[in-house]
Amino acid sequence: MTATSIVLRRLLPLPAVVQFLAVATLLTTTPPPLPAADALDEGYYAATCPDAASIVRDAMERLHYNDPTLAPALIRLLFHDCLVRGCDASVLVSPAPGRASERAAVPNHTLRGFNAVDAVKRDLESACPGAVSCADALALMARDAVALLGGDDYAVPLGRRDGTVSNPWEVDLPAPFSKLDDALAYFAARGFGAEETVVLFGAHTVGGAHCGSFRYRLTGGPNGGGGPAMDDALRCELLQTCGGAAEQGLDTDPAVFFDPDTPFAVDNNYYKQIVANRTLLQVDQEAAAHPATAAHVAYYAANPDAFVSRFSEVMAKLSNVGVIEGDAGEVRKVCSRYNT
């Protein structure tokens, strides 16, 4: 078995550890950009929980030591939270009798990291009862996940409040088979330009995807029946791992690393894979030739330090999108359920 075709059985039921381009349907209307935070402050908990960031970092180091697959999963969890209603921890709410939540939406069925968030929240509640929001905890955990995977540390201003609304029908993430133009429009509606979107795509430097996300590219001819061509050698390897056109359930469908060489490192190998036509998802491969993205892909493929630095900058921007501040929302005692 080649490095490329390593099957991620031990990661199931995770189809893409950081596949924020998850199975969903694009809305026919484009929402206005989610507002960025303007009142967050790194010293927000100076009086109520001065060690909040250290508590989270210590917990993340323990969690990462026990499960190195968790860090990519938490980055993905932040994406799924912030791109729907903003960074308000709404994705963490569990469905309850008579009340659905974002976790019930198809793109979120395979999210991981909820237990880790609950564990960190318990540590925070033990030290500072009722002080630190779940939204802030998740933002800090995602920042630490990037650092633990070799990325640059970055500042996370605090003061987010937790949302009191979580609806599955609002989960409108682009599908893995989306066209790049649709993905660019989606992220533009949330305040991200083409270059920033290319950098966000770079989250695929870690994690992987189930074969069902790209199997159509392997069948129907050398070009997979449409879209940009895939490297022939990679296509043959993936056919061995994924099989033919038969669809499988998430519990049996094999999964493959996005970057088989360094699947748990934040680096620029993802962009090198794009340039070599060795990416899994069509939307990623389209970025190599699209006039709005091709130059950015080429730049980051040739400049590893630039990508690592820029990825942290754009992650910082993502974690500030559409936050709830002031007296709005709440500070949940348990991240998976509302206070009332």
**Does 29 have pLDDT greater than 50?**
no
Which among 39, 99, 12, 15 has a CA at the least distance from the CA of 325?
39
Residues in the annotated binding site for Ca(2+)? 81, 84, 86, 88, 90, 102, 205, 259, 262, 267
CATH of the domain at 140: 1.10.520.10
Based on the domain organization, do 294 and 179 belong to the same domain? Answer: yes
Based on the domain organization, do 179 and 86 belong to the same domain? Answer: no
**Separate counts of helices (H) and strands (E) for the chain:** 11, 2
| Residue 145: inside a domain | yes
Which helix H or strand E contains 255, and what residues bound it?
strand 255-257
Higher pLDDT, 98 or 77: 77
Using the 3D structure, point to which of 172, 196, 219 is the last residue of a domain: 172
Catalytic, out of 64, 80, 290, 296: 80
| Residue 240: inside a domain | yes
With 0-12 / 13-18 / 19 or more C-beta atoms within 10 angstroms meaning exposed / middle / buried, residue 9 is: exposed
Using the 3D structure, point to which of 156, 172, 188 is the last residue of a domain: 172
Least confident of 182-191, 214-223, 295-304, 316-325: 214-223
* Segment 301-322 mean pLDDT: 98
Confidence of residue 208 (pLDDT cuts 50, 70, 90): confident
Based on the domain organization, do 189 and 76 belong to the same domain? Answer: no
**Does 98 have pLDDT greater than 90?**
no
Residues in the annotated binding site for substrate? 174
**Does 21 have pLDDT greater than 80?**
no
Write out the two tokens for 39.
Answer: 């009142």
List Cβ neighbours of 311 (8 Å cut-off, separation of 6 or more): 146, 151, 152, 199, 202, 203, 205, 266
- Helix pair 304-318, 134-148: axis angle to 10 deg: 170
Based on the domain organization, do 102 and 114 belong to the same domain? Answer: yes
Confidence of residue 227 (pLDDT cuts 50, 70, 90): low
* Segment 42-63 mean pLDDT: 98
Number of domains in the chain: 2
| Residue 210: inside a domain | yes
**Does 301 have pLDDT greater than 80?**
yes
CA distance 262 to 254: 19
- Helix pair 134-148, 70-82: axis angle to 10 deg: 140
CATH of the domain at 241: 1.10.420.10
Average pLDDT over the chain, rounded to an integer? 87
| Residue 119: inside a domain | yes
Based on the domain organization, do 266 and 308 belong to the same domain? Answer: yes
Residues in the annotated binding site? 81, 84, 86, 88, 90, 102, 174, 204-205, 259, 262, 267
| Residue 33: inside a domain | no
Q: Known catalytic residue: 80?
A: yes
* Segment 100-112 mean pLDDT: 91
pLDDT for the residue 231: 93
Based on the domain organization, do 156 and 277 belong to the same domain? Answer: no
CA distance to 53, 120, 139, 146, 181, per residue, from 316 (Å): 15, 20, 9, 11, 24
| Residue 143: inside a domain | yes
Which among 77, 108, 27, 109 has a CA at the least distance from the CA of 315?
77
* Segment 185-189 mean pLDDT: 95
**Does 28 have pLDDT greater than 90?**
no
| Residue 63: inside a domain | yes
Q: Which residue's entry shows tokens 């190599």?
A: 288
CA distance 275 to 266: 18
Write out the two tokens for 37.
Answer: 């935070």
| Residue 44: inside a domain | no
Range of the domain at 295: 9-13+175-315
pLDDT in tens, 246-293: 555 666 788 899 999 999 999 999 999 999 999 999 999 999 999 999
Residues in the annotated binding site for heme b? 204
